[in-house]
A and B are shown apart, each in its own frame.
Chain A
Amino acid sequence: MSATATGKTRDHLGRPVVAVTGMGVVTSLGQGVQDNWSALTSGRSGIHRITRFPTDHLRTTIAGTVDFLFDEPVRSPVLTERLAHLAAEEAIAQSKLGTPGDFPGMLFMAVPPVELEWPAKRALYAGTNPDSGDAYDRMIDGAWALNDTDTYEFALYGCVAERTADQFGTRGAPISLSTACASGASAIQLGVEAIRRGDTDAALCIGTDGSVQVEAVVRFSLLSALSTSNEDPTAASRPFSKSRDGFVIAEGAGALVLEDYDAAKARGAEILAVIRGVAEQADDFHRTRSKPDGSPVIGAIRQALADGGVAIEEVDHINAHGTGTPENDKMEAMSLEAVFGEHIRNIPISSNKSMIGHTLTAAGAVEAVISIKTIRDGVIPPTINYENPDPSFPLDIVGNVARRAPVSMVLSNSFGFGGQNACLLIAAEPG
């Protein structure tokens, strides 16, 4: 792959500058940046009752599923792939980079873990001989007899990224990754790092998640992570509110085309934004809880500022992880206060998850797209359902209605189970 050796634009550490030249998004609010943006800035929620599967015996019966792409229920990886492809098509079209099916850059793709789902397990089990052993022996017999390529390939962890690489003609082997709910941000980080070190001039970075199936809902419920405010789905996701009671599981995809800034300028591309800083710090405290002193999150935010060469006064908006779980929002608020001090009161903060829900693997990428739109339009989408602010947070939450404000530097946070903490600093085009 040819890297640009002639580029001259360098950041404060002498590295190539990474530009965003295309973006795409799909969520329960709709397909495409425009539809999502108008819904988000008008404070509309995409959360609704789950109709994909019966919800008997479930404590949570609401979600932000994407139900408008297929007439019939499909397997999670099939929906996950479709979401990714729609977001990627939009991003690539906007970037005008390459030709259809021939994207001249690498693919970094955050995808949810894969499992054979219950309908598939039931189908493999049905009609097998009870004498052949336990349930898995029987399913293995069924699998061997079925010998079906489609079932096989969609049960592989590498499948969605491989098919995406086939579809868009990206260069080299694709990287599939998972850092739980920080995955979308990690995909962008990997792309930024590859461009900075000159491995590639361009990267397609995608976060995608279409995995709201019954067992996923049950698993998060068993960890008491989900909101059970089922009565009014649109009011269930309440980040930074005193009455917040968990996140709302959701689906979606976000895609960015990243490019070496000079290479993008040289081909006359429109620069939508630059990725100024990236950072990550693992937490060693607990599998689902953050270190009580917030030090890993604080460390990740400080590292992002250092990586970008950005002073705290330059950050004029924070796109919070803001899941609406009691623990996350408390920890995030505390960490922001620790990093920004008194200045935090002057920085408008919002959580897109109040409307979209938590798109898990996709969230970091979806929120990067919204952060860029925020910079470009000078409008900060609101945190809806903010009727009852948590008084312990000294934060300027953009509550309930969008706020017009010039924004040139956004901190976007993403945190995940397993001690994953990733931060992106996204900035307007320099100069």
Chain B
Amino acid sequence: MTNASQDVWITGIGLVSSLGEGTEAHWQAMATGDVHPAKAEMERFKPFPVLPMVPLELDRQIPRRADQRQMETWQRLGTYAAGLALEDAGLAGDLDRLAHMDMIVAAGGGERDLEVDGQILAGLESAPAPEAFLNEHLANDLRPTLFLAQLSNLLAGNISIVHKVTGSSRTFMGEELAGISAVEVAARRIRAGQGNLFIVGAAYNAERKDMLLSLALGHTLWKGELEPVWARAAASPEGGMITGSVGAFLVLESRAHAEARGRTAYAKLGPVLSGRSRRKPGDAAAVARGQIEAIRPSIGKAPVAVLSGANGMTAATLEERALLEQLGAEGIIGPVRASQSLIGSSIEAVFPAQIALAGLAIAKKGFYLPFDPTGFEQAATEAPSQILATSWGFWRGEGMALVEAID
């Protein structure tokens, strides 16, 4: 096995969502006072509620307006959050280290020009030669730079340009699993000595109808008022996700590298496991059960707190809840929280955000407050020293990681 110097430390967090900007804003909103989600956008994306990004002063992390103009919103959110993470880790502007920093971004696709698409669709209905009409209007109406704002790997490209991260640059795709694999591969590489400094993360702009369209194809979305995930799953046979805009980036670093530059960390990232199943009833729970067993040797005697990635879609959410209840009865896990009840579902960004929130709670020596009318989320009696973060994708992909206090 690896030695402690190759432990994976979380030394920087960049987190932006509907709840606010930065770790402190998220802690205040989720762990203190009267916990509730931000005001949802209920009109623009009717019948789907969406949790919108708080206003960001983009200039603070993306100083050149020319760079901002070259990006669509998801790229701006991600580039901004990556900047926050680098700053938080004390690496902003540290060109020597950034030149050797490896990057793994989880990304979907960029945003379309909805207006152009709408005009073309309307025109196609009456065009005598629809295909020629389509060609002509695509050739004349698409902005040349839009393509670059759509390409999956161009979030990473923009992070290189704006923040000067120029080690290796990889973009994983595939919804939540992309975020899980990004964190997993970075952690494995650090443990194996294949790199000692990584930036890993994703961004999701929920405020776009093109994305809602893809999700609507699978009936994955919740219609109606804001409700926590457990309540949505209990309310109807389909339940559904409430999507939310999120940018979540982590600086992951070997302990030796962090200590050599005099940095402390939020937490240690323990085992990170990705899994897959075809999602027949019980499949995902079986994968997660296997992951728990694999992680068990790293779990202490006290029941471990859980930050669940449950998304409110009924089948998977109830299956995960039943598993967690069972694990609770076995004394393996303690209190459960579901971050998506508060920040919404952010697809590729879910898992990086889960790790960020778990690391934050460890550093704060506390846990988030329950937000669950069904009573499944119980008050925490003590601050967890280990948090298990889960994410089951809305279609496929099951991930789990252990985030731990540094002894």
CA of A222 to CA of B146, assembled, Å: 10
B135 adjacent to A136 (CB under 8 Å): no
Residues of A within 8 Å of B177, CB to CB, are: 158, 173
Residues of B within 8 Å of A157, CB to CB, are: 108-109, 152, 173-175, 178
A135 adjacent to B214 (CB under 8 Å): no
A296 adjacent to B166 (CB under 8 Å): yes
Which positions 127-165 of chain B face chain A at CB distance < 8 Å?
A: 129-132, 134-136, 138-139, 142-144, 146-148, 150-154, 156-158, 160-161, 164-165
A282 adjacent to B165 (CB under 8 Å): yes
Known pairs A54-B132, A116-B213; A177 contacts B172 (CB<8 A): yes
CA of A118 to CA of B124, assembled, Å: 10
Residues of B within 8 Å of A194, CB to CB, are: 188
Query: Taking the complex as formed, is A4 at the interface, i.e. its CB lies under 8 A from any CB of chain B?
Result: no
* Nearest neighbor of A136 in chain B, beta-carbon distance: B209
CB distance from B105 to the nearest CB of A (A): 10
Residues of A within 8 Å of B205, CB to CB, are: none
Residues of A within 8 Å of B158, CB to CB, are: 287
Residues of A within 8 Å of B143, CB to CB, are: 222
CA of A178 to CA of B172, assembled, Å: 6
Chain B contact patch, size range: 35 or more
Query: Taking the complex as formed, is B396 at the interface, i.e. its CB lies under 8 A from any CB of chain A?
Result: yes
A418 adjacent to B121 (CB under 8 Å): no
Contact of A218 among B70, B142, B275, B278 (CB under 8 A): B142
Q: Which of A17-25, A160-168, A254-262, A395-403 contacts B (4 or more CB under 8 A)?
A: A160-168
* Nearest neighbor of B138 in chain A, beta-carbon distance: A218
CB distance from A335 to the nearest CB of B (A): 15
Interface centre among A56, A157, A222, by most B CB within 10 Å?
Answer: A157
Contact of B166 among A57, A118, A193, A281 (CB under 8 A): A281
Residues of B within 8 Å of A215, CB to CB, are: 138, 142
Q: Which of B28-36, B215-223, B244-252 contacts A (4 or more CB under 8 A)?
A: B215-223
Contact of B173 among A176, A197, A220, A418 (CB under 8 A): A176
A197 adjacent to B188 (CB under 8 Å): yes
Contact of B170 among A143, A179, A288 (CB under 8 A): A179
Interface centre among B169, B278, B397, by most A CB within 10 Å?
Answer: B169
Which positions 261-304 of chain A face chain B at CB distance < 8 Å?
A: 280-288, 296
B164 adjacent to A284 (CB under 8 Å): yes
B189 adjacent to A113 (CB under 8 Å): no
Contact string against A for B residues 237-278, beta-carbon threshold 8 Å, 1 for contact and 0 otherwise: 000000000000000000000000000000000000011101
Query: Taking the complex as formed, is B118 at the interface, i.e. its CB lies under 8 A from any CB of chain A?
Result: yes
Query: Taking the complex as formed, is B56 at the interface, i.e. its CB lies under 8 A from any CB of chain A?
Result: no
A173 adjacent to B173 (CB under 8 Å): no
CB distance from A12 to the nearest CB of B (A): 15
Residues of A within 8 Å of B4, CB to CB, are: none
* Nearest neighbor of A174 in chain B, beta-carbon distance: B276
CA of A321 to CA of B396, assembled, Å: 35
Q: Which of A38-46, A94-102, A147-155 contacts B (4 or more CB under 8 A)?
A: A147-155
Closest 4 A-B residue pairs measured CB to CB? Answer: A418-B157, A158-B174, A135-B118, A197-B192
- Given A134-B118, A153-B395, A197-B191, 8 other A-B residues pairs in contact with their CB atoms under 8 A: A56-B129, A146-B217, A172-B275, A186-B170, A190-B170, A218-B138, A287-B148, A419-B161
